[in-house]
Amino acid sequence: MRKENFPAGLFSYRKERYKGTYVIFISGVEEDLQRFVVPLGGAKWSVKKGAWYVNDNQRNRRVLQIREEYIGPAQLEGLCEKNCLAFKLYVDHLVLKAYSHNTIRMYINEFVQLLRVLGVVAVDDLSASRLRDYFRYCLEKLKLSENTLHSRINAVKFYFDKVLRRPELMIEIPRPKKPRLMPRVLSIGEMRLILELTPNLKHNTMLRLCYGMGLRVSEVVGLKVGDINSRTMQVLIRLGKGKKDRYVNLPVSVLEQLRTYYRAFRPKEYVFEGQDGGQYSIRSAQQVFQAALSRAKIDLKTGIHGLRHSFATHLLEQGTDIRYIKELLGHNDIRTTMRYTHVAPPTIKNIKSPLDNLDLPPSDKSSGNK
């Protein structure tokens, strides 16, 4: 269902977490629901809620013409009046800073956990020692992982640094050491198998572009037809992580398939579009990759982001300068790219020990020690 065909103001919406994901419940006159909502791609009926719902994503919000609202009854539940005001100021500041939708949602979810624990205690009255106690509670009682605790500290820090203008409260808060996990990487052989066993033209083309250009999943589904320049063999990646544009090289081997795909599907705006038009969903792209892993019988616990890891690692194995890999991936810091030096086994295996340069024959003399 295209945006221009969907009537504005005809339905009411509420967003909440349902069955482990965020969804939009739609209410209205039954006749209108049957006419407009039921044909909407991915619309489902909840017996428990007695309502139709769709996944809460950028495409559905655009189609339903929903203005993004981050504050609702669910967020304010259990907060005292002072903390409700602090929460609203917090959200306003995030929006004015033009943070991405996902970052705003993550920060809100983490910050509101603190406000709920505080009860009637105003967040503005907290001391550095009380904040330390709270984060210790998160680690010891709530058993938050190191990565989750980092996210929560960042969310709380944003309030005291940027909204309240009291950065000194967070200066001495220690951060847990993150586990240094190696990126999950597919071998060249596994990549070949995955692509050979993905017969669907759209899915195969998506996986080829994702791996062949080292794209994030948000970048591959956000790729627009006009961003691909077959004359220069470059692709413009718009507003990647950190809202940065960058150019990547279009693999020569995918050009003819890309043309075949375009003739078959005739995408209007995005290279990969859903059944009802608009941007292909990230969740669907993840499912495409998981299905490909399953067909290839590859038991690797990774998402489609593993294609990006594999791209970087395989470039490194080919001898590509890591500075160029950094630019292709869109990393700010070379240290982020350097982690791939730890997962390129052929490169490490090719390093020759200095002992081998001595050209010594093997010793056949027995030791004189008894």
Mean per-residue pLDDT, 30-59: 78
Residue-level pLDDT at 126 = 92
Q: DSSP class of residue 112?
A: H
18 is catalytic: no
pLDDT digits 0-9 by tens, 266-309: 998 899 988 767 788 888 999 999 999 999 999 888 899 999 99
User: Per-residue b/e over 316-332, b at no fewer than 16 CB within 10 Å?
Assistant: bbeeeeeeebbebbbbe
pLDDT digits 0-9 by tens, 143-201: 998 889 999 999 999 999 999 999 898 887 888 776 666 678 888 999 999 999 999 99
CA–CA gap between residue 253 and residue 9 (Å, rounded) = 48
Radius of gyration of the chain (CA): 26
What are the structure tokens assigned to 99, written together?
A: 């943070």
Cα distances (Å, whole numbers) of residue 58 to 14, 24, 67, 220: 15, 11, 11, 15
DSSP string, 166-196: -THHHHT---PPPP-PPPP---HHHHHHHHH
Residue 353 or residue 199, greater confidence: 199
pLDDT digits 0-9 by tens, 263-273: 999 998 899 98
Q: Is the pLDDT of residue 360 over 60?
A: no
Highest mean pLDDT out of 203-207, 319-323, 365-369: 203-207
CA–CA gap between residue 307 and residue 290 (Å, rounded) = 12
Which residue in the list 203, 216, 314, 326 is annotated as catalytic? 216
Place of tokens 């869109």: 330
The mean pLDDT value of the chain amounts to 83
99 is catalytic: no
2 is catalytic: no
Which residue in the list 241, 246, 283, 295 is annotated as catalytic? 241
Tell me the percentage of the chain whose pLDDT exceeds 70.
Answer: 84
305 is catalytic: yes
216 is catalytic: yes
Place of tokens 């001898």: 319
Q: Is the pLDDT of residue 335 over 80?
A: no
pLDDT digits 0-9 by tens, 53-99: 888 776 677 777 776 667 777 778 788 999 999 999 999 999 898 88
Q: Is the pLDDT of residue 345 over 60?
A: no
DSSP string, 258-327: HHHHHHHH--SSBSSB-TTSSBPPHHHHHHHHHHHHHHTT------THHHHHHHHHHHHHTT--HHHHHH
Residue-level pLDDT at 133 = 93
340 is catalytic: yes
User: Picking from 25-29, 105-109, 130-134, which range would have the lowest pLDDT averaged per residue?
Assistant: 25-29
φ and ψ at residue 313, rounded to 5 degrees: -65, -40
